[in-house]
Every structure is written in C-alpha cells, then in structure tokens.
Amino acid sequence: MKIEEIMVKKIESVEADATAYDAIEKMVDKRIRSLLVKPRDEKDVYGVVTVRNIVFKVLGKNLDPNKVRVEEIASKPIVSINRDMEIGHVISLMNKFNIARVFVHEGKEIIGVVALLDVMAASLIERARGGRVA
Amino acid sequence: MLEKVFFSGKTEQKVIENIKRHIKTLGSACEVFKEAVEKQDKELMLSVADLEREGDVIRREIISNIYEGAFLPFLRPSICRFVEIVDEAFDVLEDTAYEFEYLNSKLDKEIEDNCIKIADINLKMCEMLLIAFETLSSKEDLREKNLAIRIYEKKIDEIKFDLIKKLRKKEVKDFWEGKILSDFISYLTHVSDVIEDASDYLYIMNVSLR
C-alpha cells in the first residue's frame, strides 16, 4: 500500500512566531497532538511542534507558554517523504528516527501527514485483505 | 464441522454463491455511485437504482432457497438476517443516489473531495465484507476482517465530523436546499454503518458456529 492512500491531507499548522500557548490552544481545540510549523521565510524550513515539545520544553521547565515562541521549541527540519513510498519503508523510517509521524511532500509543499496510528490501521487492513488489491 | 454444517449440499452452495453475488452487486453499486459523483453523471447515478433492484431479486432468491430447506433450521434466521442487512445497505445507497439527483448531480467544491473519499471507503468496505464472507467458509477467524471494517468505519466517522463542520458554515438559500444536502450526507455516511452491522452479524455467526 502506498502512503498517499493513507495520508491525512488536512494539516493543521501554526506560524513560527506564534506563542506556545497559541499552539496549545489549537491542539486542544482540534484534539490533535502536533502542528506543522510554517517556515519563517524562504530560507527557513518546515518544523513540527508536538505535545512532547510543549510538555518537556515549556511546561516541565515551568516556563510561561505565553512567552515562548513556537520556533524555539519546534523540531526542525521535519522528516518528509514522497507520496508513492510504501508503508514498509515508512515504518523503517519511523523506527530509525524514533518519530511518531512523517510528513508527505510534493516539491516544496507539504501535502499530508501520516501518524503511527494511520500506519497501524493500514497495516491491519492490508493483513485482513491477505494480498487482495483494493 | 463448520464445513459440514455450512457448506454441505447443493442448495447450500447455491445460497452461498448467491450471497457472494449479492455482496458483489452491492460493491458494483458503490463503485458506480463513486464514479457518478466524480463525473457528476446523472445517467450513471441511475444505474445505482438498477443495481438495487438486481440486489432485491438476488435477496428474494436467497431467502426462498433457505426456506426451501437449505441449511440447518437453527442457522436459517441468522443467514436471512445477514442478507437483509446487506439489502438495507443497498436501500441507503439508493436513497443517497436520489438525493444526489435532487442536488442537480453537483456538489460544492469544498465538500466534494470528502464525499468522494467516503464513497471510496464504502466501496472498500464492501470488498472487505466479501472477503469476510468468503473467510467464513474456510475455518479461519473473522476477527481481523471485522476489525478492518471497523477501521474503515472510523475513518468515515472522522470525515463525517469534518463535513458537518463545513456544512454548518454553509449558507443555504431555502429550507429544501439545506434539507436535501443534509439528507445526502446522512445517507452517504450511513452506508458504512450498515455494512459494519453486516460484518458484526457475520462475526457473531462465525462465533456461534465454533
């Protein structure tokens, strides 16, 4: 199964100069665990801010989330792949880099995201199909 | 034991083949529906009703074969119920097709992708239901197939919430425009619920035959 079949096209993002509190608010409202951090300018690259980043780098250190900017705590650069990559490769990649999600790019644009749960669901469906093509 | 009870005689084989045909016809209806939405093709959408009628004919044949003596009596109501649930999926899909016609065979750009995605998952669920039914004949466990169908259904639920959010922001001209669009989305997202029910029923049959 190719990654484009399982990727989530709806990506929530946040500006690099937004505060950690803005990111928290968005994650709580949308019930998601990560946000794509937009590049500041053309020279900059995409990043990702996760619940882990917020908890360990802000709340755990007793910092004020209103005073911390997203770009200070975001992980950069993001790990991104082509839409035609097979699930098996993605699992290896996630394992190698110890990450829970990978982004999907087309040129310079980010067009989707695949999380561990998506990979698990897709693998289970593939297993149930027993090699029968959808 | 399972093979003996479930697949013994000629009449039983006939029923089994017809149930497979019934599910395949539902798959064809889902495929035609998806294509009709993608192409905004009114004529093609009419084929969904034709396939629903074909499904009705197959269902009647299955039920009469069963009551002519196929299968042990304790199994008959379960098989009939399963066939009726599959038939309900046909009905809901047909209702969706009619609503699409009332929408002038056109969807707004902002919801079109989501609707096509749901139609595609409905089709995949039919294929999985057929695989699950075929698995019943072998001695394999249906658990994995049932889980796969539940995963598909969950995906549709997620898309449904997203769709409802978009619909709430949409301005409608009059009561009927709003009602037709709302009904279309309700029916479209209900097909998967019914297929999931059919899969659950199949799983219960699988467990009861152990």
pLDDT tens, position by position, B127-150: 999 999 999 877 678 899 999 999
pLDDT at A10: 87
Dihedral of alpha carbons A39, A45, A46, A51, sign: negative
The H or E element that residue A120 is part of is: helix A116-129
- What is the predicted pLDDT for the residue at B199? 95
pLDDT at B139: 66
Q: Assess contact for A18 and A47: CB atoms under 8 A.
A: no
Find out whether B25 and B54 touch, Cβ atoms under 8 Å: yes
What residue has token string 């946000």?
A: A35
Q: Is B127 close to A127, i.e. CB distance below 8 A? A: no
Q: Enumerate the β-bridge partners of residue A75.
A: A48
Does B147 reach chain A within 8 Å, measured CB to CB? yes
Is residue B204 predicted with pLDDT exceeding 90? no
Identity of the amino acid at B131: I
Mean pLDDT score of chain B = 91
CA distances from B13 to A25, A85, A109, B66, B79 (A): 59, 42, 54, 11, 13
As a whole number, mean pLDDT of residues A31-37 equals: 94
Tell me which H or E stretch contains A116.
Answer: helix A116-129
For position A1, what pLDDT does the model report? 83
Q: What is the pLDDT of residue B137?
A: 73
Q: Say yes or no to pLDDT of B209 above 80.
A: no
Q: Specify the pLDDT at position B10.
A: 85
Mutate to test the interface with B, among A1, A129, A133 (most CBs of B within 10 A): A129
Of the candidates A84, A79, A122, A72, which has an alpha carbon nearest to the alpha carbon of residue B147? A122
Given CA atoms A8, A13, A19, A24 in this order, what sign does their dihedral have?
A: negative
pLDDT at A38 over 60: yes
Nearest alpha-carbon partner for A121 in B145, B186, B148: B148
Nearest CB among A10, A124, A132 relative to B147 is that of: A124
What ipTM is given for this predicted complex? 0.76
Interatomic CA distance for residues A17 and A23, integer angstroms: 11
Structure tokens at B69: 């003596």
Distances (CA, A) of B61 to A30, B16, B22: 49, 11, 10
Can you tell me the mean pLDDT for A30-53? 93
* CB within 8 Å of A116: residues ≥ 6 apart: A94, A100, A101
pTM, rounded to two decimals: 0.85
**How many CB pairs below 8 Å do chains A and B form together?**
29
Q: State what percent of residues in chain B have pLDDT above 70.
A: 96
- B140 to chain A: closest CA residue: A128
Return the percentage of chain A with pLDDT > 70, whole number. Answer: 97
Please give the pLDDT value at position A130: 83
pLDDT for res A25:
95
Of A10, A124, A130, the CB nearest to B151: A124
Q: What is the mean predicted confidence (pLDDT) over B20-35? A: 97
pLDDT band at B4 (very low <50, low <70, confident <90, very high): low
Identify the band that residue B151 occupies on the pLDDT scale cut at 50, 70 and 90. Answer: very high
CA distance A32 to A115: 11
CA distance B24 to B50: 14
**pLDDT given for residue B70 in this prediction:** 83
Distances (CA, A) of A80 to A45, A72, A109, B79, B141: 12, 21, 10, 48, 37
CB distance B74 to B5 below 8 Å: no
Q: How far apart are CA B201 and CA B17, in angstroms?
A: 18
Both ends of chain B: CA-CA distance in Å? Answer: 8
The alpha-carbon gap from A61 to the nearest alpha carbon of chain B, in Å, equals: 35
A34/chain B closest Cα distance in angstroms: 17
pLDDT score of B33: 97
What pLDDT score does A27 carry?
Answer: 95
Angle at B150 between CA B145 and CA B156, to 5 degrees: 130
pLDDT computed for residue B6 by the predictor: 59
* pLDDT above 90: residue A13: yes
Summarize the confidence of residues A75-103 as an average pLDDT: 93
| Mean pLDDT, residues B68-74 taken together | 85
Average pLDDT, chain A: 92
CA distances from B39 to A42, A98, B16, B47 (A): 39, 43, 35, 14
Does residue B90 or residue A133 have the better pLDDT?
A: B90
- Please write the tens of the pLDDT for every residue from A55-88: 999 999 999 999 999 999 999 999 999 999 999 9
Q: Which of the four pLDDT bands, split at 50, 70 and 90, describes residue B8? A: low
Packing angle between helix B76-102 and helix B42-67, nearest 10 degrees?
A: 170
The pLDDT of residue A131 is 64
Across the range A23-30, mean pLDDT stands at 93
